[in-house]
C-alpha cells in the first residue's frame, strides 16, 4: 500500500502526535499549519516532521504549509484509522477494567467489544456495558466480528498461554501489559508495554545527575 521504503519505528508514534495536533488546529478553524508549528506542538524538529511525512507522499504546499484537516485525514489513513477497529481485552482485573472504560480508545477508532477472563466469580459481571465472558468464548467472538486486535491484561505467568490462544483464535495484533516477554508467530504484531520500566527510565536519568 504505502511503504516504498522502510519506515523508522518511531515515526508511527510521531504521526499519532501530529494527528492529535492537526485535529485540534482544524477544530479551531485554522486553515494552514507549517511543519514548524507541528514540530513545536509535538516536541520535534520541523525537518523531522517533513521527513516523516515524506515517507508517505506529498501533503503540503510549498511556501504555504499544510491544511490541517486534509493532513489529518491522510495521517489517519496511513495509520490504518480510516475505519473503526473492534478490540478485545483478556483479563478483567484492575488494569483490564480501566482500559475497558477508557474513552481515549473510542476517540481514536478503537471499540472495546469484549472482555474475557477465567475467574468464575467475574464471568457475567459487567464493566460499563460489556459483560465479562469466559475465555473459551473468545474464538467464537473473534470470528463473528473479524476481530484483529487484542489487549493482554492477565498475570505474567499466564501471558504466553493467553497470547497463544489469542493467535489461534485469529487475533493478529496484541498489546501485552504483563511484564514478561512473550513470543508470537510470524505475521502477528506484538507490542509490550512495561509500566514499571517507565519509572525505571526516570530513576536512571535522575541518577545520572548525582
181 binds DNA (CB under 7 A): no
Residues whose CB falls within 8 Å of the CB of residue 187, separated by 6 or more in sequence, listed in order: 172
Please report, as residue ranges, which positions from 52 to 91 form the binding site for ligand NAD (by CB under 6 A).
Answer: 90-91
Half-sphere exposure of 203 (CA within 13 A, CB side): 5
- Which range, of 42-50, 73-81, 96-104, 141-149, touches ligand NAD by CB under 6 A? 96-104
What distance in Å separates the CA atoms of residue 38 and residue 23, rounded to the nearest whole number? 11
- Write down the least CB distance from residue 18 to DNA, Å: 12
Chain centroid offset of residue 60 CA: 26
158 binds DNA (CB under 7 A): no
95 binds ligand NAD (CB under 6 A): yes
53 labeled binding residue? no
What distance in Å separates the CA atoms of residue 31 and residue 66, rounded to the nearest whole number? 8
Please report, as residue ranges, which positions from 52 to 91 form the binding site for a copy of itself (by CB under 8 A).
Answer: 78-81, 85, 87
What distance in Å separates the CA atoms of residue 186 and residue 142, rounded to the nearest whole number? 19
- Write down the least CB distance from residue 34 to ligand NAD, Å: 28
92 labeled binding residue? yes
Number of residues that bind DNA (CB under 7 A): 28
**Cβ–Cβ < 8 Å for 68, 30:** yes
108 binds a copy of itself (CB under 8 A): yes
Burial per residue of 71-87, b for 16 or more beta-carbon CB atoms within 10 angstroms, e otherwise = bbbbbbebeebeeebbb
Residue keyed to cell 468464575: 120
Q: Which is nearer to ligand NAD, 16 or 158 (CB)?
A: 158
172 binds DNA (CB under 7 A): no
Pinpoint the alpha helices (H) of 58-126.
68-78, 94-101, 103-107
Supply 168's cell numbers: 489461534
Q: Which residues bind a copy of itself (CB under 8 A)?
A: 1-3, 12-13, 15-17, 20, 41-43, 78-81, 85, 87, 94-95, 97-99, 101-102, 104-105, 107-108, 110, 148-149, 172-175, 179-181, 183, 187, 189, 191, 193-210
Q: Which residues bind ligand NAD (CB under 6 A)?
A: 90-96, 98-99, 102, 104, 116-119, 122, 135, 153-156, 158, 162, 177-179, 195
Which positions make up the binding site for NAD(+)?
A: 91-96
Amino acid at each position: 500500500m504505502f511503504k516504498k521504503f522502510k519506515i523508522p519505528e518511531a515515526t508511527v508514534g510521531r504521526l499519532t502526535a501530529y494527528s492529535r495536533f492537526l485535529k485540534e488546529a482544524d477544530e479551531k478553524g485554522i486553515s494552514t499549519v507549517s511543519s514548524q508549528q507541528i514540530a513545536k506542538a509535538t516536541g520535534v524538529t520541523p525537518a523531522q516532521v517533513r521527513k516523516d511525512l515524506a515517507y508517505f507522499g506529498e501533503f503540503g504546499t510549498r511556501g504555504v504549509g499544510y491544511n490541517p484537516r486534509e493532513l489529518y485525514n491522510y495521517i489517519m489513513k496511513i495509520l490504518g484509522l480510516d475505519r473503526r477497529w473492534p478490540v478485545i481485552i483478556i483479563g478483567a482485573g484492575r488494569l483490564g477494567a480501566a482500559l475497558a472504560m477508557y474513552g481515549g480508545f473510542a476517540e481514536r477508532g478503537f471499540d472495546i467489544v469484549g472482555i474475557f477472563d477465567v475467574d468464575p466469580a467475574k464471568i457475567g459481571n459487567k464493566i460499563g456495558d460489556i459483560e465479562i465472558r469466559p475465555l473459551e468464548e473468545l474464538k467464537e467472538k473473534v470470528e463473528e466480528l473479524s476481530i484483529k486486535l487484542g489487549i493482554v491484561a492477565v498475570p505474567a505467568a499466564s501471558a504466553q498461554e493467553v497470547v497463544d490462544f489469542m493467535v489461534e483464535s485469529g487475533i493478529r495484533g496484541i498489546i501485552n501489559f504483563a511484564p514478561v516477554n512473550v513470543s508470537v508467530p510470524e505475521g502477528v504484531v506484538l507490542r509490550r508495554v512495561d509500566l514499571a520500566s517507565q519509572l525505571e527510565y526516570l530513576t536512571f536519568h535522575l541518577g545520572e545527575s548525582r
